Chains A and B, each alone.
Chain A
Amino acid sequence: MPIALGDHGVGPAQSPPGVLRSLADYRGRDRERQEITARVGMLVFLGSWIMLFAALFFVYGSVRSRAPAWPPPDQPRLPVLLPGVNTGAMAASSAALAVAQRALQAGRHRACGAWLALAAFLGATFLSLQLAVWSGLWRAGLRPSGGTYPSAFYGLTALHALHVVVGLVALGMLAARARAGRAEQLGVDLWAWYWHAVGAVWLVLYTTVYLV
């Protein structure tokens, strides 16, 4: 159902004034309306939240454009391969989540739970690989206090990872609920949006921080 701004649902052609259809019919529509409301709210939230990362990328661009050399010659370069694998993990996790959404739409709760668990597993893989990247660079001598280059790297990746942790907790809980047959489409969909957004931010982060 597309989000119709300000659409009141029923046009005059379907229900002429004064002729009220059965209450059950309204109840069904009523639920749909509340779900649309929740989706609108989530969209606003995501738009707002994206601005947080947009601002962080702005700081990154700002400090980088003023640096004489990036990375500074005496500091370790960021790895490309391991974070690249991570990009794949994030994408696969999003894909698994999309399959989970479809499964739930078809009413297959157990399959949904399994796909959710896979998505969470891939997310956890992402986090552990990210930990490996951090510890490798830390051992190579890269400290946050070493200037803007490590500051931007640690700051951006850490704040992103925090959002991954939140998503992981949610995915785990949703998976457990789906296994018990109590998952709701709305909850899964909204967390899926969140997760896809976290993945999209990662894609930008990987491209701008690790690759370029």
Chain B
Amino acid sequence: MATSADVALAEAAQPIHPEPTSFWRRYVFSIDHKVIAKQFLWAGCAFLVFGGVLAMLIRWQWGFPGQKVPLLGDVFLRGTGGVIAPGTYQQIFTMHGLIMVFFAVTPVLVGTFGNFLIPLMIGARDMAFPRLNMYSFWTFLASQLLVVASFFTDLGTGGAGWTNYAPLSTQVGMPGMGQTLVIVALFVTGASSTMGAINYITTVIRLRAPGMTWSRLPLTIWALWLTAILNALFVPVLGAAALTLLLDRHFGTQFFIAGASAVRGGGDPIAYQHLFWIFGHPEVYIMVLPAWGIVGDVLSFFARKPHHWYRGTVGAMLAVTLLSALVYGHHMFVTGMSPLLGQGFMLFTLVISVPSMVVVLNWLLTVWRGSIRLTTPMLFALGTMFVFGVGGLTGLELGDISMDLYLHDTLFVVGHFHFTMAAASFTGAVTGIYFWFPKMFGRQLDERLGKAHFAVTVVGMTLVFGGQLLAGYAGQQRRLFDPYQYTFIQGLHGLNRNVSILAFVLFAGQLIFVWNVAKTLLGRARVAGANPWEVTTLEWTATSSPPPFHNFDRIPFVLRGPHELGDAEVKGLTGRDFAGQAEVLPAKSGTAAAGGG
């Protein structure tokens, strides 16, 4: 039981520091978690556009192979007269995947929301290690610059696929500095993620406000905390893979070089695949867990009901975190693994869908019979629920070995992971941006533009990635430069072309969001109050929008859980249908209010 003495202790442990006044200390080399969150947001969004343009080039190649690329062709592809060449195509799909996973979605989901929300939602004045937090961002920026630099090398950027499978990613398959820079960038961004993870984990353990017990943590914080644990444990495995790959590329070692290219002995390319997927599968959950948390909280807030079976969702997320380390082999069913091992991985893969479905069913039951407010964040949360459902169900088909033998390396796989990583993670992040935008910037985004953006995005994604599922089910292999050289794929040209056009519309539809943000930040947008959504968590109920440098004038004293919504008793006392986590309710009659904060 927390006491008011704990509040005094928390105040003493996190004294209010004066806000830095110089421009550099305030906006550039800032140690303020809110500024760092915005830096991650802008850096991530810039690369979202970058990765998105590359996606459009891939879609152009599938829809209109051998034709001159409009607009971009004259600028970037002058050497081939505006047409995408096979080698360039390989680099385009490689960098699309790499950029989206490591340099766009991860920084937005983990970097932005982890930094912005963790201290604010647990009632802390900053991260446990603010300076480390700053290094984390600058390390990340350095990794992004390495990626950009790789495009300007002699042989161009990396082209070994986003997974960088050896031996294609060794000097034998991809000579040149570009591939090396990309691998170094992976290592550096991994170092940044690890720094962030250390900060997140420690902050949640140590700096929760008095009364903020583990069972009162918002689901977003639970999700971000578990994500950080996965990051801390498994990103170093990617680091080890990158290091050994670099040793192979530049120090003459032969860990992964095999076959005719190995002078003697010969390494084990499959060892690289193991390393990559030991990291890679937890990474899938690193990208989706924060979205789960955000969606869970947002659904509860706008259904005006407590989240259904909060403990069940937390337990399910814990189970997913544990199981995510035991399923990676399903990426390697056709690589050549012991069948027994393969069956084990299949079992765990199918088992992990049980906690996932607990999460999804809890969302459904949260919305069930709620007093739903269809705001933009709520729409995006519902949309995330839908696209994640499709992604999860197609995952079951791929997790089954006998199905996977047929579907492996087809566009069905691409459609599946786009529904989860591109659609669910992305819309989850967008949910968060719409929801916390007033807190971050003190202004509210335009709801009408937001709803238009929602319609284009969720319908567009469903059709585009659904088209990939269809083409893959019909047998179209992923990564083919010109799929129509195969007669059995020629019949899919029409489907691919239509999906490509839809993809262009989807991309263009994101301009609505860009316009919305620009208009809101630069124009005369509605100034948001402290709590425009009428919700309960500390960042809305215990501080202003945007919060001051020190977050809370007084460290809040948490009295209740995160979803105190629609309670008749609260309504009787306050006239509102919600109560802040640290709000002291007026006494019924005569009895003095207990606690304080």
Contacts and interface: CB of A to CB of B under 8 A. Distances in A.
Interface string A91-123: 000000000000000000000000000000000
Nearest to B271: A62
B244 A56 contact: yes
A126 interface: no
A120 to B, nearest CB: 25
Interface stretch (B5-13, B407-415, B451-459): B5-13
Given A5-B205, A12-B3, A45-B194, 17 more contacts: A8-B210, A17-B4, A23-B12, A26-B8, A29-B12, A33-B9, A40-B128, A40-B206, A47-B232, A52-B239, A55-B239, A55-B278, A56-B240, A146-B264, A147-B262, A148-B265, A154-B253
A151 interface: yes
B252 interface: yes
Given A17-B4, A48-B194, A155 B247 contact: yes
B254 A10 contact: no
B253 A155 contact: yes
Interface string A11-36: 11011111111010011011001101
Interface of A: 5-6, 8-12, 14-21, 23, 26-27, 29-30, 33-34, 36-37, 40-41, 44-45, 47-49, 51-56, 58-59, 62-63, 66-67, 72, 143-152, 154-155, 159
Interface string B233-245: 1111101110110
A10 B3 contact: yes
- Secondary structure at chain B's binding surface: helix, strand, loop or mixed? helix
Most chain A beta-carbon contacts within 10 A, residue among B244, B262, B266: B244
B271 A63 contact: yes
Contact of B202 (A23, A27, A40): A40
B268 A148 contact: yes
B23 interface: no
B17 to A, nearest CB: 14
Given A10-B6, A56-B240, A63 B268 contact: yes
Contact of B6 (A8, A30, A63, A147): A8
B275 interface: yes
A48 B266 CA distance: 30
Nearest to A68: B265
A37 B202 contact: yes
Interface string B1-28: 1111110111011000000000000000
B197 interface: yes
Interface of B: 1-6, 8-10, 12-13, 128-129, 132, 194, 197-199, 201-202, 205-208, 210, 213-214, 232-237, 239-241, 243-244, 247-248, 251-255, 262-268, 270-271, 274-275, 278, 595
Chain A contact residues: over half helix, strand or loop, or mixed? helix
B275 to A, nearest CB: 6
Contact of B236 (A20, A33, A41, A52): A52
A55 B253 contact: no
9 contacts: A8-B10, A20-B5, A37-B128, A48-B236, A55-B240, A143-B252, A144-B254, A147-B265, A151-B254
Contacts of A9: 6, 9
B214 A44 contact: no
Contacts of B252: 143-145
Contact of B12 (A27, A52, A58): A27
Nearest to B270: A62
A6 B208 contact: yes
Contact of A26 (B1, B12, B197, B236): B12
B240 A48 contact: no
Given A40-B202, A48-B232, A147-B266, A17 B5 contact: yes
A26 B595 CA distance: 20
Contacts of A150: 253
A98 to B, nearest CB: 25
Contacts of B205: 5-6, 40
A44 B263 CA distance: 41
A9 to B, nearest CB: 6
Contacts of A72: 265
A121 to B, nearest CB: 29
Given A8-B2, A147-B266, A149-B265, A41 B9 contact: no
Nearest to A65: B268
Contact of B233 (A40, A47, A143): A47
Contacts of B275: 55, 58-59
Nearest to B201: A44
A41 B128 contact: yes
Contact of A145 (B237, B253, B278): B253
A52 B9 contact: no
Interchain residue pairs A-B with the least CB separation, the first 3 = A147-B265, A55-B240, A151-B253
A152 B255 contact: yes
A23 B237 CA distance: 46
B268 to A, nearest CB: 5
Contacts of A6: 205, 208, 213-214
Of A18, A19, A27, A45, the most chain B CB neighbours within 10 A belong to A45
A37 B5 contact: no
Nearest to A154: B253
Contact of A58 (B207, B208, B267, B274): B274
Nearest to A15: B5
A33 B13 contact: yes
Contacts of B278: 55, 58
A145 B207 contact: no
Contact of A144 (B210, B243, B251, B264): B251
A151 B255 CA distance: 6
Contacts of B274: 58, 62
B286 to A, nearest CB: 14
A23 B5 CA distance: 11
B232 A52 contact: no
A84 B19 CA distance: 55
Contacts of A152: 255
Contacts of A27: 12
A87 B251 CA distance: 26
Contacts of A53: 240
